[in-house]
C-alpha cells in the first residue's frame, strides 16, 4: 500500500489519494484510525491483525462476527488461515513477554481459535498455544486441549501433534513438582524455618573476639 517512488509526481499523488480514501473507509467501517506512514507499511493481512488486537478489550465472538469477518470478506482473506496466523503470532509474543500460567492474552487466543471452523486449523491454533505455554497449563487451556483431543474430525496427524504437547506438559509439570518437593525437603532437613534463625546458622560467632 506504499507509494511507488518510481512513479511520476501525478502518479504518486493518485496513489496517496487512493490510500487516504482507504484510510477513511477503515475508520468509517471498522473504527481503525492509523497514521498515513503506518498505513503505507501495511497490507490487508497486517491491518486485519491490527483490528484483531481489539479483541483484548471487547467481546471476541461478537467483534469477529461484526468487524473481522466483514473485513476479511471485503479484502478476500481466508478466515481460518488468517485467524490461525494471528493466533500463532500472539503465541510467539507470549513466549517472550508473558511467563504467567493464566494470561488474558492466552484466553483471547483460545477464544479466537474457537472461531476457526476448520478442525485441523483449529487444532493447529491450540497446538501453538500449548507449545508456548508454561507448566502447569491453565485450566482453560487444559479444558480446550481435552475437548480437541475428543474431536473426531481432526486429522490423526494433528491429534498426534497435540498429544506430543500433552506429554511435554506432563513431563514439565513432573519436573516442576520434583523441584518443589526437593526444595521443601531441603528446608525441612535444615531445620531453619525462621529467617533470623537461618542467618544465625550461616554466621558462626568467632571465639576470642576483639
Q: What is the pLDDT of residues 110-125, one digit of tens each?
A: 999 999 999 999 999 9
- Residue ranges per structural domain of the chain: 1-42, 43-184
pTM of the predicted protein model: 0.78
Task: Answer for the pair 145, 162: CB distance below 8 angstroms, yes or no.
Answer: yes
Among 75, 73, 51, residue whose Cα is nearest residue 63: 51
Q: What is the pLDDT of residues 138-160, one digit of tens each?
A: 899 999 999 999 999 999 999 99
List of residues 6+ apart from 139 with CB closer than 8 A = 102
Say whether pLDDT at 202 is over 50. no
Which has the minimum average pLDDT: 43-57, 72-86, 161-175, 195-209?
A: 195-209
Task: Answer for the pair 118, 84: CB distance below 8 angstroms, yes or no.
Answer: no
With 0-12 / 13-18 / 19 or more C-beta atoms within 10 angstroms meaning exposed / middle / buried, residue 189 is exposed
Amino acid at each position: 500500500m506504499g507509494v511507488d517512488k518510481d512513479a511520476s509526481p501525478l502518479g504518486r499523488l493518485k496513489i496517496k489519494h487512493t490510500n487516504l480514501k482507504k484510510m477513511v473507509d477503515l475508520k468509517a467501517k471498522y473504527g481503525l484510525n492509523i497514521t498515513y506512514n503506518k498505513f503505507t507499511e501495511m497490507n490487508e493481512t497486517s491491518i486485519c491483525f491490527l483490528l484483531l488486537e481489539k479483541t483484548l478489550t471487547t467481546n471476541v465472538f461478537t467483534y469477529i462476527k461484526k468487524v473481522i469477518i466483514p473485513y476479511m470478506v471485503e479484502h478476500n482473506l481466508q478466515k481460518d488461515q488468517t485467524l490461525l496466523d494471528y493466533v500463532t503470532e500472539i503465541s510467539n509474543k507470549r513466549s517472550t513477554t508473558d511467563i504467567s500460567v493464566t494470561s488474558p492474552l492466552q484466553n483471547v487466543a483460545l477464544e479466537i481459535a474457537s472461531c476457526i471452523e476448520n478442525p485441523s486449523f483449529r487444532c493447529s491454533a491450540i497446538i501453538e498455544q500449548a507449545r508456548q505455554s508454561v507448566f502447569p497449563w491453565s485450566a482453560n487451556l487444559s479444558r480446550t486441549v481435552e475437548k480437541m483431543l475428543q474431536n473426531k474430525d481432526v486429522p490423526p496427524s494433528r491429534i498426534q501433534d497435540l498429544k506430543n504437547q500433552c506429554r511435554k506438559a506432563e513431563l514439565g509439570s513432573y519436573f516442576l513438582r520434583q523441584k518443589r518437593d526437593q526444595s521443601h525437603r531441603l528446608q525441612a532437613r535444615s531445620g531453619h524455618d525462621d529467617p533470623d534463625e537461618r542467618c544465625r546458622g550461616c554466621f558462626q560467632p568467632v571465639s576470642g573476639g576483639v
